[in-house]
């Protein structure tokens, strides 16, 4: 495998894994120990391949030229190894995980492809009309697994160039947001492809107390120091993940059921180092 082009090998590894898992599922072998051991060994090979890819500009450009099924397989494979933390175990000091995250976002943007594992089903829209509206999207209230959730539907524009730009923004926001896990950052639940035909929606917990602006208008400046501290903690966490929010304002700071702030709306967020 090492003698082959690493990009081709990554794509083939992804395709073979998809086919293998389908066959094993049909045969009832999905939990077989031998299968798990083989996948673990394959993960180690993938890490070695990926290190070669991200260390060479030519290989990175080749990844970004992937289209269709090849792009989807590569996106799913990188998402899988990131989820497992396999890249961290290979050595956390070489920045491999950071490079993988950035390449995943870029490939998703240029190929208009998102990891299949982010998609969820069973979301039930509760209101016909949007509860809130912003510059690029509308927020609807829905239910998922017995809990109230918010559906963020990106608005569609007539111009092809604008639509493409908004779609890229959707991909970037979903991929940046899904990796965030902090008490003062709004959780990412998944992507709903069913509630609106031909539209994708990002799903997150419903914040019934609304924005920090609404909270301050109704409750005054009580505990404002704590709110500021929580906002600062959330921002510090984002920066620790090499992410700049890019649009921090009152309407993008929500208040959860326990009256803690939650930073939201990562549509303009970027990596602090674009390389």
Domain residue ranges in the chain = 6-118, 124-271
pLDDT for 160: 63
**Of 137, 120, 136, 128, whose CA–CA distance to 192 is shortest?**
120
Residue 42, both tokens: 């394959």
Task: State whether the Cα torsion 35-36-41-47 is positive or negative.
Answer: positive
Please name the residue that has the structure tokens 């947001």.
Answer: 177
Helix segments in the chain, DSSP class H: 6-26, 33-54, 57-63, 68-84, 86-89, 96-111, 160-177, 212-219, 224-240
- Asked whether the predicted pLDDT for residue 3 surpasses 50, the reply is no
Contacts for 57-63: CB closer than 8 Å, 24+ residues apart? 59/6, 59/7, 60/103, 62/5, 62/7, 63/7, 63/10, 63/103, 63/107
Please tell me the predicted confidence (pLDDT) of residue 89. 64
Q: Which residues are catalytic?
A: 247
Range 133-161 average pLDDT: 82
**What would the pLDDT profile of 153-212 be if each residue is shown by its tens digit?**
987 665 666 777 888 889 999 999 999 999 999 999 999 999 988 789 999 999 999 999
pLDDT digits (tens, 9 = 90+) for 40-80: 788 888 888 888 888 888 999 999 999 999 999 999 988 98
The two three-digit tokens of residue 48, written as one number: 């070695």
Q: What does the mean pLDDT of the chain come to?
A: 86
* Fold type of domain 124-271: Transferase(Phosphotransferase); domain 1 (1.10.510)
Q: Looking only at Cα atoms, what is the longest distance across the chain?
A: 66
Task: Return the pLDDT at 194.
Answer: 92
Q: What is the mean pLDDT of residues 137-144?
A: 92
Task: Kindly report, residue by residue over 201-220, the tens digit of the pLDDT.
Answer: 999 999 999 999 999 999 88
Residue with tokens 């959860």: 256
Percentage of the chain surpassing pLDDT 90? 49
Per-residue pLDDT at 236 = 96
């Amino acid at each position: 495998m090492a003698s082959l082009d690493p990009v081709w090998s990554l794509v083939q590894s992804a395709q073979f894994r998809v086919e293998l898992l389908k066959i094993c599922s049909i045969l009832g072998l999905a939990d077989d120990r031998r299968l798990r051991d083989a996948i673990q060994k394959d993960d180690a090979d993938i890490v070695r391949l990926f290190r070669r890819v991200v260390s060479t500009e030519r290989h990175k450009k080749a990844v970004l030229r992937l289209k269709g099924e090849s792009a989807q397989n590569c996106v799913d494979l990188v998402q899988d190894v990131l989820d497992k933390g396999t890249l961290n175990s290979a050595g956390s000091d070489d920045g491999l995980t950071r490079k993988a995250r950035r390449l995943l976002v870029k490939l998703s943007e240029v190929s208009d492809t998102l990891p299949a594992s982010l998609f969820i089903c069973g979301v039930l829209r509760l209101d016909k009309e949007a509860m809130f509206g912003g510059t690029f999207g509308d927020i609807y209230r829905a239910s998922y697994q017995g809990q109230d959730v918010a559906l963020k539907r990106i608005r569609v524009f007539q111009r092809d160039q604008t639509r493409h730009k908004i779609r890229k923004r959707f991909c970037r926001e979903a991929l940046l947001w899904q990796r965030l896990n902090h008490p003062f950052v709004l959780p990412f639940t998944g992507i709903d492809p069913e509630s609106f035909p031909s539209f994708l929606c990002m799903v997150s917990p419903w914040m019934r107390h609304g924005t920090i602006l609404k909270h301050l208008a109704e409750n005054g400046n009580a505990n404002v120091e704590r709110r500021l501290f929580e906002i600062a903690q959330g921002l510090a966490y984002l920066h620790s993940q090499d992410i700049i929010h890019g649009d921090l304002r009152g309407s993008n700071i929500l208040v959860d059921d326990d009256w803690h702030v939650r930073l939201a709306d990562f549509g303009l967020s970027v990596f602090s180092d674009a390389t």
